[in-house]
Amino acid sequence: MVMLAGIGFGGCTLAQAAGQAAATGLGSWTEAQSLRELPAGIQALLGVGLGADGIADRGEDFNTSDVRADNMPTRRFALAVVHGDTAMVAVEQGGRAYAVNAVEFRQAGVVWDAVRCAPLNELPRRGTELVDAFTGRHAGHSGSCQGYGVHSLQPAPAVLSTTPVAVRPRPGA
């Protein structure tokens, strides 16, 4: 498991585009289909480039068993949505019991940090399914996300609104 505190590296084209959408009143989330589309601070928290201790990108091979072999990560990126200073990321977790988890990240200044986590019943196919993991009666829990492959030292923010959200597909999708 990768143990990292909030890491700064704020700039990312996708995050900036989502911030611009919020500024124009669209209020929509933008889907990310690859780790490369996430802000660098979130990539660092997830362990991009750390081999067996890191995370594979969507569609890449990852170790689904609990036996460590071939320097292959046991986690794989599934889908993310970004809106301004908030991102939600779905991650597959291999091991004794395969699981799909969602992690909510928030940015304060240039520092991103994991603030809430939630188990998912299945891989989300659309961004709205991912956002739903943090709204309604099964909302993610606040506090440490250690069991989800990231570590947070920040207190959790207020719960997101339960109003329906619009998720824009990424350009070219």
Q: What is the pLDDT of residues 47-100, one digit of tens each?
A: 898 888 889 999 998 888 877 777 888 899 999 999 999 999 999 998 888 889
Tens of pLDDT, residues 66-78: 777 778 888 999 9
Q: Are 47 and 93 in contact (CB under 8 A)?
A: no
In sequence order, what DSSP letters do the residues of 40-55 get, joined into one string?
Answer: HHHHHHHTTT-GGGS-
What does the pLDDT read at residue 19? 40
pTM of the model: 0.70
What does the pLDDT read at residue 45? 92
CA-CA distance, 114 to 121, in Å (whole number)? 20
Flag whether pLDDT at 143 surpasses 60. no
Buried/exposed 44-53: b ≥16 CB within 10 Å, e otherwise: bbbbbeeeee
Higher pLDDT pick, 110 / 12: 110
In sequence order, what DSSP letters do the residues of 74-133 get, joined into one string?
Answer: SEEEEEEEEETTEEEEEEEE-SSS-EEEEEEEEEETTEEEEEEEEEESS--SSHHHHHHT
pLDDT band at 106 (very low <50, low <70, confident <90, very high): very high
CA-CA distance, 132 to 122, in Å (whole number)? 12
Give the chain's mean pLDDT.
74
pLDDT band at 144 (very low <50, low <70, confident <90, very high): low
Beta-bridge partners for 80? 32, 89
Instruction: Work out the number of other CB atoms within 10 angstroms of the CB of residue 114.
Output: 28
CA-CA distance, 21 to 164, in Å (whole number)? 17
Flag whether pLDDT at 5 surpasses 50. no
Q: Are 73 and 47 in contact (CB under 8 A)?
A: yes
Instruction: Work out the number of other CB atoms within 10 angstroms of the CB of residue 99.
Output: 16
Flag whether pLDDT at 154 surpasses 90. no
Beta-bridge partners for 106? 86, 113
